[in-house]
Amino acid sequence: MAPHRFRVPDADAGRRLDAVVADLPEVGTRALAERLVTAGDVLVDGRPRPKSHRLAGGEELDVELPAARLLVPVELALDVVYEDEHLLVVDKPAGLVAHPAGPDRGATLAHGLLALGAAGGDPERPGLVHRLDRDTSGLLVVARSDEAHARLTDAIRERRVERRYLALVKGTPGSRTGRIEAPIGRDRRDRTRRSLDTETPRDAVTWFEVQELIGSRALLEVRLETGRTHQIRVHLEAIDLPVSGDPVYGVVGDLGLERQFLHAHRLRFEHPFTGAELDLRSPLPPDLEAALERARTE
């Protein structure tokens, strides 16, 4: 990351922080500006502020900008479960990073999506309108044009895209269904973690329903109302239901798992161009299915 300092012009008094950052030539897009502000990479007079913060003019902005990079298409063996001229839905395997971040670590999902015609939005993650953590598997919807990206982004912002996950947790929920509402942001002491203990809170809502009680564990179906980084894992930890296998927020190594038991198993939304309802599902991958069977036979 490269640090840059900017002074807010007096003419920008009253404007939102993310809008002003997007106007910087070094940033250039609202999507990148929002990502930088949300990640805590923008400081206003030395302090992080939410993207909706109204500026007074004259403030100093410190912006950590990502080093420029040029993505090239890479042929990856991606499982495409739906595609048309406007969008595609892929079933992402665990272990595949969504897009480049930090030092070059080889091909990412974004490289593979370019080879499938993904386009629109941030050029560093073309076509992506939402993401999954590296070790979370499952369904992602991807745009193939700027217009498709804009329409899908609006649908997610307006909560018209239903995203459901399966999660195996350690512990027994106090009810069959539940709603977790707790703001999430970058942890005030450890910038690699998300937390409820944060200086940059963003509203976050997660719903869950018990699918199966398995001894000291439970299989949950989880629905995202918002989509903050690490939201499900942070929220479930907060109510004492840590995700099995999660090395950061949950129970590392539980049931022999080498990653968190979290799978995006269902996407349902209205096609942004045709209006047709798409309801797509993905079965548990073999490693999670095997861990579930081990839990049942313990």
Number of H helices, E strands in the chain: 6, 15
Both tokens assigned to 68: 């420029």
Torsion of CA 14, 15, 21, 26, to 10 degrees: -100
Residue found under tokens 């090395």: 247
Residues involved in catalysis: 133
Please, where are the H alpha helices in the chain? Answer: 17-23, 30-38, 109-115, 146-157, 231-238, 286-297
CA dihedral angle for residue 110, residue 76, residue 115, residue 259, rounded to 10 degrees: -20
Give the Cα separation of 195 and 51 in Å (integer).
18
Tell which residue, 233, 229, 179, 178, has the closest CA to residue 201: 229
> Could you give the CA distance from residue 19 to residue 23 in angstroms, rounded to a whole number?
6
**Nearest 5°: CA angle at 212, between 211 and 215?**
155
